[in-house]
Amino acid sequence: MDDALTFDQPAFDGPTLDRPAVDRPTVDRPTVRIRRERPGDPADVAAVRAVTVAAFPTDAEARLLDALRAAGDCDPARSLLAEADGSVVGHALLTAMILERPDGTRDADRIVALGPVSVTPEWQKRGIGGELVRAALAQAEREGAAAVVLLGHPTYYPRFGFRPAREQGLLPPASWPDAAWMACRLPAWTPLDAGVVHYARAFMEME
């Protein structure tokens, strides 16, 4: 199977989108290909790590990826790479969350988390981060997830449909700031999808 993402449905751009990407300036827009990580490919693993180290001020997020991989919590099919000019210049990861409902039932199939999201500095501000976020939302929607959650920049993610998660009935696993704890509901959302969202252990042990 070709590992490039081919969307037989339009990428998710629900009614809550603040500013459609098509309206943004197209100057300096590179041709970007978003594809899944190739399972067991050391070159992809190294490229993702290099992009993550370059994008963040410390290597904490790169070590988070290492820990997720070691624990089997990094699924290559949910690891999205952005290629431009033949190089990997961006990455976004979706991971499975455990939803703990108010009645105590738990479900591992309803909520996914987005992050880390990284674009190597020299390629930032050209729409690649946006392409990765939209591809991740589209993938989560195709998988039938109810919502995508994240802890991220409150001024960046609302343009993709993310809103404060607590107001949507999704509680964080720790005392995270309400403005940064966001969720984007997908068409499969039902009222039964509210509750506490538990992350994989590596996220909770991140320094």
Ligand X SMILES: CC(C)(COP(=O)(O)OP(=O)(O)OC[C@H]1O[C@@H](n2cnc3c(N)ncnc32)[C@H](O)[C@@H]1OP(=O)(O)O)[C@@H](O)C(=O)NCCC(=O)NCCS
Q: Which of 49, 118, 140, 172 binds ligand X (CB under 6 A)?
A: 118
Q: Decide whether 130 or 188 has the Cβ nearer to ligand X.
A: 130
172 scored as a contact of ligand X (CB under 6 A): no
* CA distance readout (Å), 170 to 153, 185, 193: 18, 10, 8
User: In this structure, what DSSP letter does residue 46 have?
Assistant: H
Closest distance of CB 38 from ligand X, Å = 22
Q: Decide whether 115 or 195 has the Cβ nearer to ligand X.
A: 115
Task: Of 84, 71, 75, give the one whose Cα is nearest residue 40.
Answer: 75
Q: Which stretch binds ligand X (CB under 6 A): 63-71, 150-158, 164-172, 190-198?
A: 150-158
Q: Which of 119, 138, 146, 200 binds ligand X (CB under 6 A)?
A: 119
134 scored as a contact of ligand X (CB under 6 A): no
- Whole-angstrom Cα distance, residue 162 to residue 175? 19
Number of residues that bind ligand X (CB under 6 A): 18
Residues 6+ apart with CB under 8 A from 119: 51, 55, 82, 89, 90, 128, 129, 132
